A = this chain, B = another copy of it.
């Protein structure tokens, strides 16, 4: 257990790092110490975390626990029971950080990486004790989205990670083996590949593909997963009946899926299509509307948050 008294270190104060920090402090009640090498980033942490804490108030009973902003990695990590690393997706950079962190923390400290693209076996190279290292990938933004994807090799450490993230109202999912993009990133990439193909081959506009997703399968997948969806699609006979009757047609469909390349022409179609869909709304306004809707859904489902 990471008790609320034990400090939690947040390494890197980008979007993910600050979101984690807000959640750790306001929902977990942890003593959170945030470090970022950029003075400019450090200067903005308090305000950015406060805005996220404001969103969290719609979902949780909050603890009023201020963040500690540290000017060195050593200050942030000394005495920490948990370290959440959110550095840029650069293997050498992350490996260097783990060496620095290991030099400071005690033997029981878990080092968790928020990496979306890199995998455990590559990241641990050069560590003195790889068993304490896990990947713990949140879905952006971590303070709102329940999913955390875990991989590590020590069952005791994975057990502690489950407790830690569940204590923050997250839904941890443990991979049985590392995969680039974990689960969610791979599902997203698979879906987006077909979404790009449908635009590239002239079937539909960017906006219409998004509308179809949001009002159809996306809405469904907020409630039941893809596997369960096909189980329900099989009626009383479930997945077994579905596979027996429609398995072959599903395999034929798979064979027709698009394999687009992001050529200059396709990129131009995507950029122009997003321009139409955004209709003048800046990115931060769309993101704010997304967060508001996400909070409304989470409240409506009373999902663990």
Contact = CB atoms under 8 A, between A and B. Distances in A.
Given A189-B250, A193-B254, A239-B270, A209 B225 contact: yes
Contacts of A254: 189, 193, 259
Nearest to A299: B300
B290 A215 contact: no
B190 A194 contact: yes
Nearest to A182: B212
A175 interface: yes
A71 B300 CA distance: 42
Contacts of A198: 179, 183, 186-187
Count of identical protomers in the assembly? 2
A117 interface: yes
Interface in A243-269: 243, 247-251, 253-254, 256-257, 259, 261-262, 267
A190 B231 CA distance: 17
Interface stretch (A40-48, A60-68, A99-107, A281-289): A281-289
A189 B258 CA distance: 11
A149 B204 CA distance: 11
Contacts of A203: 175-177, 179, 183
A129 interface: no
Contacts of A140: 233
Interface stretch (A20-28, A73-81, A155-163, A272-280): A272-280
Interface in A187-224: 187-195, 198-199, 202-224
A253 B284 CA distance: 27
A146 interface: yes
A204 B221 contact: no
B223 A294 contact: yes
Contact of A213 (B184, B205, B211): B184
A301 interface: yes
A210 B190 contact: no
Contact of A301 (B174, B209, B257, B296): B296
Interface of A is mostly: helix
B262 A250 contact: yes
Most buried by B among A221, A233, A235: A221
A62 to B, nearest CB: 21
A147 interface: yes
Contacts of A208: 173-175, 183
A164 interface: no
Contact of A221 (B173, B218, B233, B284): B218
Contacts of A57: none
Contacts of A284: 236
Given A199-B227, A236-B284, 14 more contacts: A145-B219, A187-B217, A189-B257, A191-B191, A195-B225, A222-B293, A223-B297, A227-B273, A228-B277, A238-B274, A239-B270, A248-B262, A251-B261, A293-B301
